[in-house]
Structure 1
Amino acid sequence: MKIGLYFGTYNPIHVGHLIIANHMAEFADLDQIWMVVTPHNPLKKKSTLLDDHQRLEMVYLATKDFPKIKPSDIEFKLPQPNYTVNTLVHLHEKYPNHEFSLIMGEDNLKTLHKWKNYEVLLDRYDIYVYPRISSEEENTALKSHPKIHIIDAPIVEISSTFIRNNIKEGKNIQPLLPPKVWEYIDHNNFYKK
């Protein structure tokens, strides 16, 4: 089975994440998309994150009606901070019959050379890249790498930061969230302080 790993802090998961995950499930040659909830991204401040299990619950609520998209807590049990290369080693041991690929935005592809053991990732894994609007210079060398697959997915410019900031400001951002995720956030008064 070909699994696309879509990593994120999902703080919170929003419709943009679902649009990308569903597009990859339907239009890339992947059997399932696992939305891997990252407890601590080395490039983000941990203090801004909701509890790991609350974010996992939101991903579960958002994906339960999508049979090809699954929430994953695989990184919860691994040493912090998480590095993708270490997670992939662990996944291979746990699921030896699955073939894993990475899903990332074009913005992440531009900084891939800064990732721990990025050469190993490029050597061993297919990487499915969705477009992002960016003013930064293109890394065309990586785009032409045989393991990189540029997917013509919709460009979605919604950010979890935008959602958190606007909940705090009392704005109605309900259309940007899956309904069950909005209910969960609203019921628990998340992001209001």
Structure 2
Amino acid sequence: MKIGLYFGTFNPIHVGHLIIANHMAENSDLEQIWMVVTPHNPLKKKNTLLDDYHRLQMVFLATESFPKIKPSDIEFKLPQPNYTVNTLAHLQEKFPQHEFALIMGEDNLNSLQKWKNYEVILQNHDIYVYPRLNSGEIDSQFINHSKIHRVGAPVIELSSTFIRESIKNNKNVVPMLPNKVWEYIDHNLFYKK
């Protein structure tokens, strides 16, 4: 099975994440999308990042009615800080029957050459890139690369930061979140301060 890994803090997961994940599941050769919740980096200031398991629970709630989209806590069990190349190696070892690919926005593709062992990632894994506004100039080495697939997904400019700020300021964010995610946030009074 070919699985697309969509990494994020998902703080919180919102409809934009689901639109991209679902588009990849329905309009590419990826058979499943795993929403990989990135753990809190212990070296970084906690700030507004919710506990790992609250964010995982929100991803679970958001994806339970999408059979091709699954939550993943795989990085919770790996040494910190996490590097994508290490996560990919771990997954390939744990699930040798699957083929793993990355899903990223064009903005991340622009910084790919700064990633640890990015050449190893490109050698062994496909990368599915969705469009972003203002992503800047793509490095020429990535423009016609055989492992990089541009997917004409909808351009979604919705951010978790905007949602957190809106909640803090008592704005209505209900249309931006899956219903069960909004209920979970509201019930727990997350992002209020």
Q: TM tier, shorter chain?
A: over 0.9
1:93 is displaced (CA, Å) by: 1.2
TM-score, scaled to structure 1: 0.96
Superposition map of 1:1-193 within 5 A: 1-40=1-40, 45-134=45-134, 136-193=136-193
1:144 is displaced (CA, Å) by: 1.2
On the 8 A contact 2:40/2:51 being kept in 1, the answer is: no
Aligned-residue RMSD, C-alpha: 1.6
Q: Match of 2:184, as an amino acid?
A: Y
- What is the alpha-carbon distance in structure 2 between the residues aligned to residue 28 and residue 192 of structure 1? 38
- What is the alpha-carbon distance in structure 2 between the residues aligned to residue 21 and residue 180 of structure 1? 18
Structure 1, residues 28-61: CA drift from partner, whole Å, max 9, x if none? 1011000000103699754331000000000000
- What is the alpha-carbon distance in structure 1 between the residues aligned to residue 30 and residue 43 of structure 2? 28
Identity %: 75
- What is the alpha-carbon distance in structure 1 between the residues aligned to residue 156 and residue 62 of structure 2? 17
Tell me whether 134-143 or 12-21 shows the greater mean CA deviation: 134-143
Secondary structure of 2:47's match?
Answer: helix
On the 8 A contact 1:2/1:31 being kept in 2, the answer is: yes
1:16 is displaced (CA, Å) by: 0.2
Q: Match of 2:112, as an amino acid?
A: L
Tell me whether 131-140 or 65-74 shows the greater mean CA deviation: 131-140
Distance 1:169 1:138, change over 3 A: same
Distance 1:146 1:17, change over 3 A: same
Q: Match of 1:33, as an amino acid?
A: I
- What is the alpha-carbon distance in structure 2 between the residues aligned to residue 43 and residue 106 of structure 1? 27
Secondary structure of 1:61's match?
Answer: helix
On the 8 A contact 1:129/1:149 being kept in 2, the answer is: yes
Structure 2: give runs of 5+ residues left out of the alignment. none
Secondary structure of 1:47's match?
Answer: coil
On the 8 A contact 2:39/2:52 being kept in 1, the answer is: yes
- What is the alpha-carbon distance in structure 2 between the residues aligned to residue 98 and residue 42 of structure 1? 31
On the 8 A contact 1:105/1:131 being kept in 2, the answer is: yes
On the 8 A contact 1:92/1:98 being kept in 2, the answer is: yes
Over 3 Å off, 4+ runs:
40-47
On the 8 A contact 1:42/1:82 being kept in 2, the answer is: no
Give the aligned length. Answer: 193
- What is the alpha-carbon distance in structure 2 between the residues aligned to residue 18 and residue 143 of structure 1? 26
Q: Match of 1:7, as an amino acid?
A: F
Secondary structure of 2:10's match?
Answer: coil
Distance 1:41 1:104, change over 3 A: farther
TM-score, scaled to structure 2: 0.96
